[in-house]
Copies of this chain bind each other. A is one copy, B any other.
Amino acid sequence: MGRPGLAVDLRDVMIRFGDFTAVKSMNLQVAETEFVAVVGPTGCGKSTILNTVTGLLKPAAGDVRIFGKSLTGLNGQSGYMLQQEGLLPWKTAQDNVGLGLVFQGSSIAKAREQARPWLAKVGLKGFEERYPHQLSGGQRKRVAMAQTLIMEPKIVLMDEPFSALDVHTRRLMHRILLDLWQADRRSLVFITHDLDEAITLADRVVVMSAGPASRMVADVRITLPRPRDVSALQTTDEFVALYREIWSLLGAEVEKSYVTQG
Contacts and interface: CB of A to CB of B under 8 A. Distances in A.
This chain's copy number in the assembly: 2
Interface string A148-176: 00000000000010011111111010000
Contact of A135 (B41, B43, B250): B43
Contact of A166 (B40, B48, B120): B40
A90 interface: no
Interface in A223-262: 247, 250-251, 253-255, 257-258, 261-262
A58 interface: no
Contacts of A137: 42, 47, 83-84, 160
A136 interface: yes
Contacts of A136: 42-43, 45, 47-48
Interface of A: 17, 39-43, 45, 47-48, 83-84, 120, 123, 125-126, 134-139, 142, 160, 163-170, 172, 193, 195, 247, 250-251, 253-255, 257-258, 261-262
